[in-house]
Amino acid sequence: MALHLSTPVSGLPGIGEKAVKDLRAMGIVSIRDLLWYVPFRYDDFSKIKKIGEVKGGETVTIDATIKAIGLRPTKSKRVQMVEAIIEDETGELKVVWFNQPYLLKIMPIGTRASFAGSIDYRFGRTLANPIHEPAGRHIHTGRLVPVYGLSGSLTMRRLRDSIERSLSALPEMLDWLPSEIREAEKMPTIAEALSMVHFPESHAVLEQAIKRLKFDELFLHQMLFEEIRRDRKKKSATEIVINKPLLKQFVDSLPFQLTRAQKVAAWEIVQDLSKDVPMNRLLEGDVGSGKTVVAAIAANMAMEQNTLVVYLAPTEILAVQQHKAFCRMMPNQNVALLTHNQIFWNQDKMKRIQLIEKISNGEVDCLIGTHAVLQEGIDLSKLTLVVIDEQHRFGVAQRHALLERDPNHSPHLLSMTATPIPRSLALTIYGDLDISILDELPKGRKPIGTAIVPEKHEAPMWDHVRLEVEQGRQIFVICPLIDPSDSLGARSVADIEKMLSKGPLKGLKIATLHGKLKADEKQKRNEAFRDGAIDVLVSTTVVEVGVDVPNATVMVIMSAERFGLAQLHQLRGRVGRSDKQSYCYLIPDNLNENANKRLQAVVDSQNGFELAQTDLELRGAGNLFGNAQSGFPDFIFATMADVPLMKKARDWATELLQQKDFFETHPLVREQMGIALEKVHME
């Protein structure tokens, strides 16, 4: 039976009901799905050698004949060893397999096969536990062999065989990438690339295929960005007139001086607000650089002209904190808070229905809440400015959705992130946004003393922590959020709280904070810590965003090598938020050479942008955010380290979209963009 891309996997030879169920659990229903199921690594069995040529430690494929085979006794009854002698014209070699007695039946003496594995000298010159298949077939041996994720009882051998059979359907796969790009960049077709990914002839061929698949993702990303930029230009926005005396009055009312970077960013934003084209700007700033104040300047200007501002925070904790900050900075404005548990109009608690009525009546100048505010069915007809905090949790599709709320009119959009990344990378990750950067800290902030603390130095460190508490300060202790089955066994929040309570910090007021607590309980503990009722907060990374406690002067990070540099820097930024000297102690579980290099980078630099660049260099393909950017189709191949390819994708997207009839002549590109956005909305 001929296989087509739409053929169900049940149409494959040897795939029964159980295998169909296992494949479905992996998201594979059709031949098309199977071909897009890519390996997560490769075993290099491409070195094909004669027996007389192999050396110890080599990973090789040998085509040979079984000369002798049988069970060999072992010390353990639970371990069965099959031992064989294989031969070719250059000599003989011993082969052993563990707990595979069925091999005696399927590989009798005289069987000619390909054997792939490593030469091991623990049992004499031996090929240990090799993969095997009929000689010369080279699907599971004799090449770069793909290794796939499995489910249920599905075996690697069956999955590889199924994919190999499915390659016959690849010619049906239409290539959506414009031919001018493929030809100029010398890229394979999509069918060729997928074939190469599953059956690469060499490392160079595999690299070429992966480059093509990476480019597809990045080009699609940039096309969506270009689309949003174009849509934005077609729509109108409310002009927020620049009132310089009002602007000066607000800045003068602040209890501190703005930094140069804050002044530049605020001016860029208010200039954008004064135009009739919707602003779409990213305010990127290091931890503690004062993004909230810049957002407040923009929000105050919009509110003064009798329009509505919506401020979206990633968590309820941060929404509550920003509500208090806005009420403090703008006492003459009506600032509301609407979250699942907290409903306020200025300082007054009220019922949800009452607040929604006030919004409809135009009595609210600024509405602060989580992203759920947009789904509340609230009258936002007066909305002129949306501020999105921690924008990487609110991706490109959601930004697009904000623009689509009204076919002709859109609010201005100010996104903010405390994840510092190099400008070149920011331009490609946030390609639909203009960028303002806060790259300096407010005056009076002291560098945070940072040190790696080996186990033998923990006792004096805890003595210093106790001394800080005795002087009226407060302490964060962070533990990684880990799977309970984690074999590395990093210490948990509960373990550390128990150890500190009975040991070095006995008698102090210690509390815990983690994601399993209910929202109102988290809120209470955060408030208790902020109000000074708790001395030491032992927490997971839930404090990374949003907890602002100027009295906290020490950050202790357990199992520090488990965190990315950007995350360590974010956590360190929870202290040092006043003129008091602050400290950050990094306690590793396992300080190998690479971990030491990464942690030392945090010790040596207080600059988040520098650390982001170092993280990129040290981790290579690591994702700066820890997770793929929310709200956009996840990358399977491309990573944040592919900056040159990102730039190339952006250049092509910009160039091609200058053609007026581009989508008419390239309908497959438009179709692919629609599929990507549909996938996001479904998720």
Between CA 673 and CA 680, with CA 678 as vertex, the angle to 5 degrees is: 100
Domain that holds residue 131: 41-147
Q: Please tell me whether residues 382 and 342 are part of one structural domain.
A: yes
* Distance of alpha carbon 311 from alpha carbon 299, whole angstroms: 9
Only one residue has tokens 């077709």, namely 189
The three-class DSSP label of residue 400 is helix
**Assigned domain for 656 exists:** no
Looking at residue 196, its pLDDT comes to: 95
Kindly report, residue by residue over 227-286, the tens digit of the pLDDT: 777 777 788 899 999 999 999 999 999 988 999 999 999 999 999 999 999 998 989 887
| Contact in structure between 391 and 416 (CB atoms under 8 Å) | yes
- Which candidate, 447, 430, 341, 327, places its Cα nearest to that of 388? 430
Put residue 150 in one of left, alpha, beta given phi > 0 → left and psi -120 to 50 → alpha. beta
- Which candidate, 666, 212, 631, 64, places its Cα nearest to that of 399? 631
Rg, C-alpha atoms of the chain: 30
Boundary of a domain, candidates 570, 605, 640? 605
Helices 593-604 & 565-572 angle (0-180, nearest 10):
40
Amino acid at 531: D
**Assigned domain for 492 exists:** yes
Q: Please tell me whether residues 34 and 104 are part of one structural domain.
A: no
Looking at residue 540, its pLDDT comes to: 86
Using a pLDDT cut of 90, give the percent of the chain over it: 55
SS3 letters across 339-370: CCCCEEECCEECCHHHHHHHHHCCCCCEEEEE
The residue count of the chain comes to: 683
Q: Which of 102-116, 438-452, 545-559 has the highest mean pLDDT?
A: 102-116
Looking at residue 683, its pLDDT comes to: 44
- Which candidate, 372, 370, 328, 376, places its Cα nearest to that of 356? 376
**Assigned domain for 653 exists:** no
CB atoms within 10 A of CB 25: 12
What's the total number of domains in the chain? 4
Using a pLDDT cut of 70, give the percent of the chain over it: 89
Looking at residue 22, its pLDDT comes to: 93
Q: Please tell me whether residues 560 and 526 are part of one structural domain.
A: yes
Q: Please tell me whether residues 53 and 3 are part of one structural domain.
A: no
Q: Please tell me whether residues 6 and 101 are part of one structural domain.
A: no
- CATH number, domain at 80? 2.40.50.140
The three-class DSSP label of residue 232 is helix
Q: 632 falls in which pLDDT band (50, 70, 90)?
A: very low
For residue 267 the two structure tokens come to 């001016």
Q: Please tell me whether residues 461 and 336 are part of one structural domain.
A: no
* Distance of alpha carbon 323 from alpha carbon 336, whole angstroms: 7
Flag whether pLDDT at 86 surpasses 90.
Answer: yes
CB atoms within 10 A of CB 305: 14
**Assigned domain for 635 exists:** no
Flag whether pLDDT at 163 surpasses 60.
Answer: yes
Kindly report, residue by residue over 308-328, the tens digit of the pLDDT: 999 998 888 888 889 999 999
- CATH number, domain at 332? 3.40.50.300
* Distance of alpha carbon 562 from alpha carbon 565, whole angstroms: 10
Q: Which residue has the higher pLDDT, 621 or 589?
A: 589
| Contact in structure between 465 and 457 (CB atoms under 8 Å) | no
**Assigned domain for 209 exists:** no
83-90 long-range Cβ contacts below 8 angstroms, 24+ apart: 86/51, 86/62, 86/115, 86/127, 87/51, 88/50, 88/51, 88/62, 88/63, 88/64, 89/50, 90/50, 90/51, 90/52, 90/53
